[in-house]
Structure 1
């Protein structure tokens, strides 16, 4: 069965609520563990059905945000999901308070209970209006970005379609494209600021209704941060400033010299080489066929997985009008199908995104039989280890994608991983500042972004683009709007991926595959250790990890 044959079914709120209530009653009245466990398992199966319908709606809406049916259904779920969350919340409480709970802990991963306990602390019926508003505003942001229509030299582009021009070999082309790209954000900054301002205040209200000082603590619990806290993250960000920022600045200086420039301007940052960045030698279909051969050679398991993705049309990879921004991998439980969404635009990012999202998809493919189904995925920072590590595991096959530019791609990829860490820490630091000061207005937030940018990315030169000099860059970062506090997760995972890349032992791929098979059955720190890696939050991890990476970069010819 192909993806376009997967059936979406509208589900009425009342029917869902009645069904969940019936499971709640069965769990409450069970007079044996066998009865309790049967109700628990059937609830999980029903949850998979519900999740499959919601996910199908979200995928099809993101592929075409103007599709009237899925736009209407997406709006419906934005309103309904917070309301039915109340029913699940009550049912979860019954499970946690049941006399059979201790026996259930012998059959179910500990992370299930950790998550459910946090859920009890992050929801009440009182915040349903705020949850609905949060969903509505997030959809508004996504729709606004997807609607972008930018005139440049007689042609019309979306933001995603402009990006190849922003990395053009011809400096005048990329300068014009970069100015047009940021010009769109400048023209829409009032709308973007209003959406974000309302999101911040909505989340702050939510936190205060639940008894928190501000959204930060609530946000951490919503992210299921089981085994680290704000202090751990702040110390980790300091490691990045002390260890990584100096290395990144050296890389920017090398880049400036390679390009033959006196200064690196905004329109130069995305270009690593004077002759232009490596670009894929094939179109999207060709990339997929090369990827299939690559994954078949990497291991039998990865080959079978990617063939499944192709056979069922479980990827939508090309940028097109009205398509939502970004890339993601999700999972449709009823069909045991991962799904990869991307906005390919014939840049090196096409390969990076494909391997990244394939890492996510491979993990959920490996762990899909874990029950309850909520433990198939780990928490976000652990999820990103699978994806970012896959980018590095596929390095030996880059010749198939980039031909004689493969070495240049590999250098740019490793260099980019280092440059990314300060940016990821900046995004996280900014969000902590914003949610600690929800009363700030748009100008104060933009000013604070620019101040932090000078700490984490001191090389930034925004001459001729006043919107960026005034602190507007963050408006392009989807996660800041839609997934608060997510972004530091990418940096934690990036460090783990670099640890995998530095390892030369025969067991490294087996350790990675073992990590994938564990899914979400352990908290972050335990998963990292199970993969034979050092936890990035631990003191000294970054200094130890960066040493071999820095050595490799200094030996590279670029």
Structure 2
């Protein structure tokens, strides 16, 4: 396959990897110095494993219809990952049973020890077989969705390619694009619903094996969400309904007037008014990279150099094509010391934002790559997404690189700020939908669709008229790969978005200080709590009702200043 990652281990020879684990397990540890050296070598082994597993995952995502990529990926899921999980649990037990751990620098190792204790409490050997099946089902999801294409005026196009038409000034064009996309997913609804049915039962069984009431509680423990609770998420949803949803409805009503339509339909939400063209910040892939590099050079030459190096090393797969999985992500490669960006660009403003967002992750990975403990480089998603969402906003002053006219630049900034308001309610819909699914694991597919629709009505906008197309709305969750592949990964976007707005507010007041705080926070990795990481960034880990109200007031003022 590709050569952007380094395979230091023979993944086709599991016994060699097992021997490396056994060597660590059989070592006698008699001093703190030995223990710290042992932990360093343990991290190096996990780095080598992560590099190979991540490389194989990227290969499969880049070409999900490739038999060889699929075979390598499935071999990892069925053979390598179960092996790693078992030995990781044994290594955790060895560490926790070692008296020398009590002599480690507690200020530095406190969170490391807490994490190891948490992992031991959660681990169950019988769950490994369930996780193999869980991975198989997630892979099946990508096989179904990665192959979806539509006929656009006689030409076969991916769903990413036709997404740009949903911004068209011609209403019929927008409707056609949305209809084709929605019906493509509906053609796979039966298969995807069956996958979800199986996933829910598997995941519930995992939770019960770990003596937990439901999978929601299991995932909160697995994600080490020590800083907030499920009840906090419900309160956050209510605060957003109260202080953000009305703003979203106001923005959509203004947009409806701009479009001059009597009824605001789902294919209108991204459309531009007559006489305008959708924002087009670049026309080809290399232009996207070059212009982004120019932006990063104005912030920090280290950022620019990172993007350029990744491009030279073929670590940017940015454009859409048939057989490529949907979505976008950044994946760290700890041995290579770089990251890989995967996305499906179709030359839109959102594509520009996606690259800037994913580069925030890459920059984060770069700042923590020299942390010796791999555990401290595995940051919670609430801080990982803070890095990426902040980067979207910190680059706004340099967007003239992409937009030559003042009018387009203003539109781009308005879209970004409005996008924050538009996202937050929907983000809570996705989060609360997952809470409901796993609190009520015996529901049917029909009940699932109905609940998603109800949550949209409660938390999201009531301006959009879905009449006659309710099925599109209630099944739109099928597009959200997180629900299938990384369950409960969505609240982090909401929390981090609120943090990113705080970062942007500070940046507007003192750009140099805000950027310095940003770098400082990124360099901490997972060695500190979320509260401490946010404090290092110069902001608060706070999603209280008062904070949300204040931040929305700030965003409204920023939007008013752009009028």
Shorter-normalised TM range: over 0.9
Which residue pairs with 1:422 in the alignment? 425
2:328–2:343 CA contact under 8 A, matched in 1: yes
Higher mean displacement: 541-550 or 414-423? 541-550
* 1:402 Cα offset (Å): 2.5
Give the C-alpha shift of residue 259 in structure 1: 1.3
Equivalent position SS for 1:341: strand
Q: Deviations over 1:335-388 (max 9, x none)?
A: 101111111111111100010000000111111001202212310111000101
Which of 491, 494, 500 lines up with 1:491 in the alignment? 494
In 1, Cα distance between equivalents of 2:273 and 2:239: 29
Quote the offset at 1:445 in angstroms: 0.6
Asked whether the equivalents of residues 385 and 494 of structure 1 are also in contact (C-alpha less than 8 Å), the reply is yes
Structure 1 unaligned regions, length at least 5: none
Mapped partners of 1:272, 1:237: distance in 2: 30
Moved more, 134-143 or 518-527: 518-527
| Cα distance in 1 between the residues matched to 2:187 and 2:159 | 13
Q: Is the 8 A contact 1:150 1:159 kept in 2?
A: yes
Higher mean C-alpha deviation, range 105-114 or range 126-135: 105-114
Q: Which moved more, 1:306-315 or 1:491-500?
A: 306-315
The answer for the alignment partner of 2:247 in structure 1 is 247
Equivalenced residue count is 553
Indicate if the aligned counterparts of 2:171 and 2:271 stay in contact, CA closer than 8 A. no
User: Paired residue for 1:357?
Assistant: 358
- Indicate the SS of the match to 1:330: strand
Aligned mates of 1:15, 1:444 — CA distance in 2: 48
Paired residues of 2:320 and 2:346 also in contact (CA < 8 A): yes
SS in 1 for 2:318: strand
1:307 positional shift:
2.8
Is 1:465 matched with 2:469?
yes
Moved more, 81-90 or 245-254: 81-90
CA pair 272-83 structure 1, distance change in 2 beyond 3 A: farther
Q: Is the partner of 2:283 in helix, strand or coil?
A: coil
Alpha carbons of 1:311 and 1:439: their partners in 2 closer, same or farther (altered >3 Å)?
same
In structure 2, the CA distance between the partners of 1:514 and 1:60, relative to structure 1 (3 Å rule), is same
Distance 1:318 1:109 in 2: 42
Q: What residue in structure 2 maps to residue 523 of structure 1?
A: 529
Counterparts of 1:252 and 1:294, CA distance in 2: 31
What is the 5 A alignment of 1:147-546?
147-274=147-274, 275-404=276-405, 405-457=408-460, 458-469=462-473, 471-503=474-506, 504-505=509-510, 506-546=512-552
| 1:377–1:383 Cα contact (<8 Å) kept | no
Q: Separation in 2 of the partners of 1:340 and 1:543?
A: 34
Check the 8 A contact 1:278/1:406 in 2, yes or no: no
The Cα shift of 1:104 comes to 3.1
For the residues of structure 1 that align with 2:497 and 2:262, how far apart are their CA atoms?
A: 31
Q: CA deviation at 1:252?
A: 0.9
What secondary structure is seen at the aligned counterpart in 1 of 2:26? Answer: helix
Does the CA-based 8 Å contact 2:503-2:537 persist in structure 1?
no
Normalising by structure 2, we get a TM-score of 0.95
Residues 1:64 and 2:73 are matched in the alignment: no
Q: Deviations over 1:480-499 (max 9, x none)?
A: 11111110100111111111
Q: Which runs of 5+ in 2 are unaligned?
A: none
The question of whether the paired residues in 1 share the 8 Å contact of 2:239 and 2:544 is answered with no
2:130 is aligned to 130
In 1, distance between residues paired with 2:545 and 2:270? Answer: 32
- Paired residues of 2:150 and 2:159 also in contact (CA < 8 A): yes
Counterpart-to-counterpart distance in 2, 1:107 and 1:373: 17
**Alignment map for 1:28-43 (pairs within 5 Å):** 29-43=28-42
Distance 1:151 1:109, change over 3 A: farther
Moved more, 110-119 or 514-523: 110-119
Question: What's the secondary structure of 2:95's corresponding residue?
Answer: helix
TM-score (norm 1): 0.95
